[in-house]
Every structure is written in C-alpha cells, then in structure tokens.
Amino acid sequence: MKIKIGGLLYDVIAVTDLHTTDGEGRKVDLNGRITYGTQQIEVARQITYERQLVTLLHECAHGILEHAGQDAPENSLVAMGYGLFALIRENPELIEAVKRGRIEAASDEHD
C-alpha cells in the first residue's frame, strides 16, 4: 500500500520483528514506525489487523504533524490513532461526504 501525506508518497510495509534499541542497548518492540527520509511506514506483522490499522493511522498523524513542522506528545498521537480508526470505521457517510467535498449528497438536495 502507498499513502500520500502532505503531498509525499509513503510506502507502507508489514515487517516481522520491528524494533528499536533503547539507550542501554536493549531491544524494544514497536508496533509501527515512520521514516521521513525514505518515506516509509513500517507496521509490525504480528499484531492484529485492527491494531495494524490503528498503528498506521497513528504513524500518519506523526507524518501530518512532521510535514507541518509540528510535534505533539506521543500519547496525543496514540489517541489520534484510535480516534481516527473509530471515526473512519463508524462513519462511512462522513468519508463519502469528504470525498464528495460537501455534506449533502446530490440526492439529498432540497433546492
């Protein structure tokens, strides 16, 4: 999958054994990681499909902020991952309206 964030195209890949190393050289497992230089979003393969999507949206939120020269506390971005997942999944009419560019569908017009 590819995702465009702020006009840049990111490759999304599922990775086995996604981790980083802490300050003392210990391996720390990650659910996801966005790398701006290579325009790549990695998502851990071993987590559930739903958690992969939450993680992907979380990494997209990181990317949106990065492209705007902003940053936010990690816990705010965790909230955005879950919040966006629920918003998108539970509101298909909202997604259609955003794609359409207006709230009302043509068949809903009253004028």
CB of 86 or CB of 103, closer to Zn ion: 86
- Comparing CA positions, the residue from 58, 54, 56, 86 lying closest to residue 73 is 58
In whole angstroms, the minimum distance from the beta carbon of 70 to Zn ion comes to 14
Stretch that binds Zn ion, among 9-17, 36-44, 65-73, 74-82 (CB under 5 A): 74-82
Distance of CA 25 to the CA centre of its chain: 28
Taking residues 29 to 68 in sequence order and writing x for each that binds Zn ion by CB under 5 A, - otherwise, the string is ----------------------------------------
Helix or strand holding residue 22 (H, E): none
d(CA 25, CA 86): 36
d(CA 83, CA 54): 9
For residue 106, give both structure tokens.
């043509």
In whole angstroms, the minimum distance from the beta carbon of 62 to Zn ion comes to 5
CB of 84 or CB of 97, closer to Zn ion: 84
Residue count at the site for Zn ion (CB under 5 A)?
Answer: 1
Binding site for Zn ion (CB under 5 A): 77
